[in-house]
Structure 1
Amino acid sequence: MMNANALPPSKRPALFWGVACLILLGVLLTLLPQARLNSSVLAMLPKQTLGAIPPSLNDGFMQRLDRQLVWLVSPGKKADPQVARSWLSLLQKSQALAEVKGPMDADSQQAWGAFFWQHRNGLIDSDTRARLQNGGEAQAQWILSQLYSAFSGVSGKELQNDPLMLMRGSQLAMAKNGQRLRLMDGWLVAQDEQGNYWYLLHGELAGSSFDMQQTHQLVTTLNTLEGELKAQYPQAQLLSRGTMFYSDYASQQAKRDVSTLGVATLFGVILLIVAVFRSLRPLLLCLISIGIGALAGTVVTLLIFGELHLMTLVMSMSIIGISADYTLYYLTERMVHGAETSPWQSLSKVRNALLLALLTTVAAYLIMMLAPFPGIRQMAVFAAVGLSSSCLTVIFWHPWLCRGLPVRPVPAMVLMLRWLAAWRRNKKLSVGLPVALALFSLAGIATLRVDDDISQLQALPQDILAQEKAITALTGQSVDQKWFVVYGKSAQQTLERLELFAPALEQAKKEGWLGGYRTIPLNSLARQQQDLSLLKNAAPAVIKALNNAGLATVNPDLNAMPVTIDAWLASPASEGWRLLWITLADGESGVLVPAEGVKNSAALNTLSTQYTGVAWVDRKSSFDELFALYRHILTGLLLVALAVIACGAVVRLGWRKGLISLVPSVLSLGCGLAVLALSGHAVNLFSLLALVLVLGIGINYTLFFSNPRGTPLTSFLAITLAMLTTLLTLGMLVFSATQAISSFGIVLVSGIFTAFLLSPLAMPVKKRKKDDE
């Protein structure tokens, strides 16, 4: 009597799955026009990047800062703005940027001076305020020191118009705050140790610095313009700085990884499948399951995240090999036993093992959802959905599509049978190899070092880094992203909080926690009122002291000259400071206070918590701590996962066989870490993420071997093919130029190969030996 499993079931599930795939295709075509490919390494990082400040302010600051570009142009040791003017002209003619600024022209300089003159009573600096608080005598002495100094250049007109020298005081304070740049012919100019002059230019992108296509086009344009400048002025030097340059480097590197590694991967998998099956149909079946998986993964990722990260595509190359495993396991069963069983009988033999393997792999990927990085979460969603769809494609479609597939002799069958027999009969192999690998693991793990440095996320180009360091040295303006953020519900509340926090900043500087800081030269309206009262109280004493010194006519204007944030931002006086301020549509405002020479980040963070509306931001330190935290969390999760797998194995197979079947999983993790250590890499969060996949993928081999309805020969052939396809795909990650991806690949390759080597430990005890002969 014919087995019911030999009869073809209803076509309805296959048709339903076909309709589902057509719907997915329609959704993809709808989503693609609005979808974007994000190449930003920063976009992989957690969103809460500026401490406790409101997310809307955070996004506003980060988007604006990431659009900024800075250039320093040097004509040589002779001050000559002509080279800088030529670079400015080239940038403006290219129309590649939303805005380019160079020198301050005569009209702007006049407007700048006029603004300070009209609001001198409202723009009092902290040094002048301190002098006025002492009753006026100190301010009078300072005015006299300016008058009698040979270098101050006080004119009679200045003394007549501004006898209290408030405008001079505020401008001297700004000059002190301006670090190493000075004004020459309207240009901000720095000078290096060799005596070269450097002229500052500033630009802003029209769009995001992380728009891959636009960014690469702009970088190419800028490189062309630099060539034109140096052709005209061979002695000229140009330094560039901006997030855009790093983003473009990262995206081009990832594109190279995708194109070269992806092509090599597909070519290798195709050759392997054709060589084993000697037919194109298995290759087409593999491509169908991989294609459906990629379709479903892309659609769900776009629906959830609204975009695809380039890193997701690079790291998702690993899914090609894993999704092919399901097809290969089914097809090897057909190739070996196709003459005796129907496609549906073959499916019934492998279905449970396939679904269990899928469950463990998807669980491993979903654990990666706990990582705080959007790029990693995208990959986890892409993989979980993609692999599930690939497996369902095998179950629903492949029994229909593989009918008539020729039965072939098993390649290298004699060698395989001898290897399996050796595992059963030779204790030197079945005991010696696991013991040797255990010792190797212990030796390697003993030399492990931990490094949670976020810079491993991106292979930083040395030429761009060198230019950034040179600009920092010349201008004194670092981009190491260490700053305080002061914020409030309104502009005035923000300014008042900044004023309340300023004494603490000065104290932190005295304590040596930081070398310096910059605060915007603007007072709150409340502070302006207080300053006006100080002026009125101190004016008689100042006038008297100046009269005694022989200055007869001293008539200061003591009227209110209020400065609002809007007026200040609209004036040339805020030039160079506007980046530090942001006001949202609802009035919520924030201001950055950049810190330099930070020696004690932890103390500054503690200081910020003592004030309302103040947050300390040390982005690199915060991310390093986050890496360490999630590394510890994943370590715990791996141990929990091992415990769960052990319990499941013991329940299915009994104590002895269950614990033996756990050996490949444990040693695959150990060998992965050992090879990582011996290759000179450090353990970090990405190494742990790789171990999660080693566990999820490697256990498939044990599950295939321990399948009571399969045969060891079929399982071994399927596992060998699965291992080779996985190594062809994951192995390519080892050659990535990005250290994080490379170490990810090293752990995966070594761990999965170890799992393959030890998988025969899970073979059923001899009862199925006849099937192999």
Structure 2
Amino acid sequence: MRLSRVLAGLWLLIVIALGAVLLLQSGTLGQRVDTDLFALLPRDQRNPMAETALQSLSKQGERHLVFMIGSADPDRAAAAAHQFAAEIAPLPLTAQPLGETLAAISQFYAPYRRNLLSAADASALQQSGTDWPQRALAAAYSPMAGATLAWKDDPFGFYADWLQSLAGANKVRPQEGQLRASANGITYIVLPYTLNGSAFSLGLQEQVLGGLEAAAAKLKTRYPDIQLRRAGVILHAATAARSAKSEMSTIGAGSTLGVILLALLVFRGVRPVALAALSVLVGSLVSAVLVLQWFGHIHMLTLVFGTSLVGVAVDYSLLALASGIDSHEPVAARYRKLLPSMLLAVTTMSLGYLGLALTPFPGLAQMAAFAVIGIIGAWLTVMLWFPLLERKGLHSTAISRAIAGWLPRWPRIVGKRWFWLALLAVPVVFGLSRLQQNDDIRALSGIDPQLLAEQIDIGRVMGLPSPAQLFIISGATPEEVLQREEALRDKLAPFMVSGHLAGAEAISRWIPSQAAQQRNAALFERQIAQKPGVLENIADQVGLAPDWLQDQRKPVPLLPFETWFKSPAAVAAGYLWLGKQDHGYASMVLLQGLNDRVTTAQLGQIVSPGVVWVDKVSEISALMAQYRQLLTRVLIGAYVLAFAVLSLRYRRQTWRIMLPPALATLTTLAIMGAVGMPLQLLSMVTFLLVLGMGMDYGIFLLEHPDDGRVYLAVTLAAVCTLLSFGLLALSHTPALHAFGFSTLCGIGLVWLFAPLFRKTAFQPVPESGK
């Protein structure tokens, strides 16, 4: 007893020390929780530039919001936009300036204008037959003459055309002091804003979402025919947070109340459940701290999956507590009797989970470490602390006696009864034949469909590029990057001509390479400046002074990339520049109007020096598929390893332990196939949970064949797991719903199957005093 107290005190000191470490590092915990799915890939499969590009896009778009106010009547749309802007003025949002930016961009490029040509003007200059004097004279008397520069500074309209080409496939145009776009006979007023803070601040989310909903309600009251569209990261984050809060208050509260009610009915108090929760909490704390110290960071998926797997440890605490019901045996002796089965259970499960660490994926290794450390930590808590915390034995209740009394009446699969079990194979095979696999990350997202529809509508009307598919361009120098971008844009041109792409947003549209600028300057020089009679004819007919001719023939400087990057023009396109990388420089090319898989596949086949195609959705989905396949192998390996280890003790009886979780897993897969629920990554985590808890049930029932309290512990563990995870099947988030549904089926079935293969009949818990 003295040694047990020393070990319990030592474990207490270790837990306190780890808790102190976590508390001291609490200020940096947010920075050490990794949410990047690509961090789950092995290092040799990762593309650092692609990760940098996606992070840059995420950071650039995190604080942006866009609103579109639409009406068939442009004046009505403008009036509604003014009201909406006034209503949201008190919110922590900053309207993006319009006129000043456009004027600054035009003024910046003006000194370099003769080196800047639109694709159409460059093509026209390469061909003979264009009457350039006539074009200049027509522009001189046009109502739009001088809209960008004075006519004499841009007589052929080359600079105006180039500025116009910067808009590309973007359909938004400034008009009457507003940004406007049109689609299907509707005029939309576009209101771009920047969020004053982080999109993931819960306080800011509620303030902004609440204010926008109030403004939208007032807008609809005054203008019932107006169309309002919204897009922004904070809208999705706020909606998801509100949904999570709602589900926590219903599903979470239901789970908690269910466990408390169960404790009151079975134990006549919540103390036993509190002790069980303590063991799991300590296990999770110990694993989280040690994983953070070991890996330096912890991935969000590790927290989600690892915490679920550590939940297996509730079996140990409930078995220890249930064994004390109406027991007159000394506590120490009782725990010594439990030690073999408890030690075997934790060893087998830990070895099974360690299989995750044998894969090349760092994410799975981290999950393995978290799960194994957590399970061992919870087991140590039960074995070292519970004998000291159990002040007095528990007494049976009518409910506990009734549950324990079920077992003698529970059928056993012996003799001819195997025929009835064999009949189960028919619906199982049918369900398995209909089972589909779906690793598409979009199937797991809980994005609000209304917000998604509005965001897609905004992208379509405004002609915005997609952040999900893009090209990464790299080169030894910024000049080489720009030249490679221009070569890629030439390869994309046929897709635009055929209508499969609307456009491509690239830095080289805003700052042509030095080589392209030199080609443009040479074209102007050859076809206009040095071509006899062209400029003289214009000067004579309009009556321009001789110095105008000299000015038109004077070379203009090339626009250096460094100068451009510090200019107002870089504000609009600078986010496409990834800057200095390990082996040079890099940029992004975003695509507009990409909406079919055939074109996406063809774009992925483009081969060009320094050009890499990135399809974020497909790559993450492929990553999910790899993890699912690896977890499938790990699960099979865990069954084989567990069978081998358990066979050392149970010999020919090992199948009684391993068959229930295997049958529960196959039956759950069949049910999923029958109801049309696809097999996903989260399902494999459920089946690891089913294996762990199923083995515990089998070991406990095989080790203690004549103790009805063991079946009570098994039942309580199953019910607690169903209440904790199974109720997630009610969630509206697809990922949580899938996890909850498979857990509900898997744990429920393994609880039903485990007693079917028991070796001998159990005896119910005797009534107190008998």
TM-score by length of 2: 0.85
TM-superposed deviation, 1:747: 1.3
Letter in 1 for 2:343: L
2:341 maps to which residue?
353
1:126 aligns with 2:119: yes
Relative to structure 1, the CA distance from residue 642 to residue 703 in structure 2 (aligned partners, 3 Å threshold; closer, same or farther) is same
1:189 aligns with 2:188: no
Aligned 1:71-220 pairs, distance under 5 A: 71-74=67-70, 77-79=73-75, 81-88=78-85, 91=88, 93-94=90-91, 96-97=92-93, 99-105=94-100, 108-134=101-127, 137=128, 140-141=130-131, 144-145=134-135, 147-148=137-138, 153=143, 155=145, 158-175=150-167, 177-193=168-184, 195-220=185-210
Letter in 2 for 1:344: A
Partner Cα separation in structure 1 for residue 361 and residue 227 of structure 2: 39
- Paired residues, what number? 749
Report which stretch shifted further, 574-583 or 492-501: 574-583
Which whole-Å deviations, capped at 9, do the CAs of 1:297-352 have from their partners, x for residues lacking one? 4544665688888887777775686333211101222225x21x322222122223
Partner Cα separation in structure 1 for residue 211 and residue 244 of structure 2: 21
Partner Cα separation in structure 2 for residue 549 and residue 120 of structure 1: 19
Conserved in 2, the CA contact under 8 Å of 1:44 and 1:373?
Answer: no
1:434 maps to which residue?
421
Partner Cα separation in structure 2 for residue 650 and residue 312 of structure 1: 31
2:21 maps to which residue?
27
2:378 maps to which residue?
390
Relative to structure 1, the CA distance from residue 744 to residue 290 in structure 2 (aligned partners, 3 Å threshold; closer, same or farther) is same
TM-superposed deviation, 1:737: 1.0
Letter in 2 for 1:258: M
Match among 303, 308, 322 for residue 332 of structure 1: 322
Partner Cα separation in structure 2 for residue 758 and residue 233 of structure 1: 62
TM-superposed deviation, 1:734: 1.0
Partner Cα separation in structure 2 for residue 218 and residue 142 of structure 1: 55
TM-superposed deviation, 1:704: 1.6
Relative to structure 1, the CA distance from residue 281 to residue 679 in structure 2 (aligned partners, 3 Å threshold; closer, same or farther) is same
1:675 aligns with 2:671: yes
Conserved in 1, the CA contact under 8 Å of 2:469 and 2:614?
Answer: yes
Which whole-Å deviations, capped at 9, do the CAs of 1:585-610 have from their partners, x for residues lacking one? 99844233324235322221221xx3
Partner Cα separation in structure 2 for residue 493 and residue 384 of structure 1: 50
Partner Cα separation in structure 2 for residue 543 and residue 88 of structure 1: 56
TM-superposed deviation, 1:83: 4.2
Which whole-Å deviations, capped at 9, do the CAs of 1:610-655 have from their partners, x for residues lacking one? 323322222222222333333333223322222223333444333x
Relative to structure 1, the CA distance from residue 701 to residue 10 in structure 2 (aligned partners, 3 Å threshold; closer, same or farther) is closer
TM-superposed deviation, 1:522: 1.8
Letter in 2 for 1:223: E
Match among 442, 447, 466 for residue 434 of structure 2: 447
Match among 613, 618, 621 for residue 615 of structure 2: 618
TM-superposed deviation, 1:120: 0.2
1:4 maps to which residue?
none
Conserved in 1, the CA contact under 8 Å of 2:171 and 2:181?
Answer: yes
Relative to structure 1, the CA distance from residue 223 to residue 280 in structure 2 (aligned partners, 3 Å threshold; closer, same or farther) is closer
Letter in 2 for 1:614: V
Conserved in 2, the CA contact under 8 Å of 1:513 and 1:604?
Answer: no
Relative to structure 1, the CA distance from residue 151 to residue 91 in structure 2 (aligned partners, 3 Å threshold; closer, same or farther) is farther
Specify every segment of 5 or more residues in structure 1 that has no aligned partner in the other structure, as ranges.
1-6
Partner Cα separation in structure 2 for residue 616 and residue 269 of structure 1: 51
TM-superposed deviation, 1:733: 1.3
Relative to structure 1, the CA distance from residue 365 to residue 69 in structure 2 (aligned partners, 3 Å threshold; closer, same or farther) is farther
2:254 maps to which residue?
264
Aligned 1:64-75 pairs, distance under 5 A: 64-74=60-70
Relative to structure 1, the CA distance from residue 618 to residue 202 in structure 2 (aligned partners, 3 Å threshold; closer, same or farther) is same
1:590 aligns with 2:587: yes
Letter in 2 for 1:188: L
Partner Cα separation in structure 2 for residue 548 and residue 146 of structure 1: 10
Report which stretch shifted further, 504-513 or 729-738: 504-513
Relative to structure 1, the CA distance from residue 375 to residue 91 in structure 2 (aligned partners, 3 Å threshold; closer, same or farther) is farther
Relative to structure 1, the CA distance from residue 363 to residue 749 in structure 2 (aligned partners, 3 Å threshold; closer, same or farther) is farther
Match among 617, 632, 636 for residue 639 of structure 1: 636
Partner Cα separation in structure 2 for residue 130 and residue 335 of structure 1: 91
TM-score by length of 1: 0.85
Helix, strand or coil for the counterpart of 1:204? strand
Partner Cα separation in structure 2 for residue 503 and residue 594 of structure 1: 14
Which whole-Å deviations, capped at 9, do the CAs of 1:201-239 have from their partners, x for residues lacking one? 222334443344433433333334445655676665432
Helix, strand or coil for the counterpart of 2:318? helix
Indicate the RMSD between aligned Cα atoms, in angstroms. Answer: 4.0
Which whole-Å deviations, capped at 9, do the CAs of 1:556-596 have from their partners, x for residues lacking one? 24413322345435545456434433436998442333242
Report which stretch shifted further, 152-161 or 326-335: 152-161
Helix, strand or coil for the counterpart of 2:49? coil
Letter in 1 for 2:514: L
Letter in 2 for 1:440: P
2:653 maps to which residue?
657
TM-superposed deviation, 1:724: 1.5
Relative to structure 1, the CA distance from residue 459 to residue 261 in structure 2 (aligned partners, 3 Å threshold; closer, same or farther) is same
Conserved in 1, the CA contact under 8 Å of 2:96 and 2:194?
Answer: no
Partner Cα separation in structure 1 for residue 202 and residue 764 of structure 2: 59
TM-superposed deviation, 1:255: 2.9
1:630 maps to which residue?
627
Conserved in 1, the CA contact under 8 Å of 2:132 and 2:534?
Answer: no
1:544 aligns with 2:533: yes
1:506 maps to which residue?
493
Helix, strand or coil for the counterpart of 1:617? strand
TM-superposed deviation, 1:257: 3.0
Conserved in 1, the CA contact under 8 Å of 2:412 and 2:757?
Answer: no
Relative to structure 1, the CA distance from residue 575 to residue 543 in structure 2 (aligned partners, 3 Å threshold; closer, same or farther) is farther
1:250 maps to which residue?
240
TM-superposed deviation, 1:366: 5.7
TM-superposed deviation, 1:419: 3.3
Helix, strand or coil for the counterpart of 2:691? helix
Conserved in 2, the CA contact under 8 Å of 1:353 and 1:704?
Answer: yes
Match among 698, 703, 716 for residue 699 of structure 2: 703
Aligned 1:338-377 pairs, distance under 5 A: 338-339=327-328, 341-362=329-350
Percent of aligned positions with the same letter in both sequences? 26
Conserved in 2, the CA contact under 8 Å of 1:535 and 1:558?
Answer: no
Relative to structure 1, the CA distance from residue 244 to residue 425 in structure 2 (aligned partners, 3 Å threshold; closer, same or farther) is closer
Partner Cα separation in structure 2 for residue 391 and residue 761 of structure 1: 27
TM-superposed deviation, 1:464: 0.7
Relative to structure 1, the CA distance from residue 508 to residue 192 in structure 2 (aligned partners, 3 Å threshold; closer, same or farther) is closer
Partner Cα separation in structure 1 for residue 274 and residue 228 of structure 2: 54
